[in-house]
Homo-oligomer: A and B are copies of this chain.
Amino acid sequence: MHGTVNAFGLTEGSSFWNDFRYRRGSEIFGEAEPADRLYQVKSGAVRTFKLLPDGRRQIGDFHLAGDIFGVESGDAYRFTAEAIVNTRVGIARRETVFCQFSKENTFPGADVLKLVAKNLEHAENHVLLLGRQNALEKIAFFLTEMDRRLESPKLLMLPMSRRDIADYLGLTHETVSRSLSLFRREGILAFPGKSQRQIMLRDRSRLVQLAFSPDIGSQLS
Closest B residue to A212 by CB, please name it: B53
| Alpha-carbon separation in the docked complex, A193 to B41 (Å) | 56
Which of A5-13, A121-129, A196-204 lies at the binding interface?
A121-129
Contact check: which of B52, B127, B212 meets A126 at CB < 8 Å? Answer: B127
Q: How far is the CB of A49 from chain B (nearest CB, A)?
A: 9
Residues of chain A at the chain B interface (Cβ within 8 Å): 50, 52-54, 56-58, 60, 73-74, 78-79, 107-110, 112-114, 116-117, 119-121, 123-124, 126-128, 130-133, 167, 169-170, 212-214
Complex A-B: 25 CB contacts under 8 Å: A50-B124, A54-B212, A54-B213, A57-B132, A58-B128, A58-B132, A60-B124, A60-B127, A73-B113, A73-B114, A73-B116, A73-B117, A78-B121, A107-B109, A113-B113, A116-B117, A119-B120, A120-B120, A123-B124, A123-B126, A126-B127, A127-B127, A131-B167, A131-B170, A132-B170
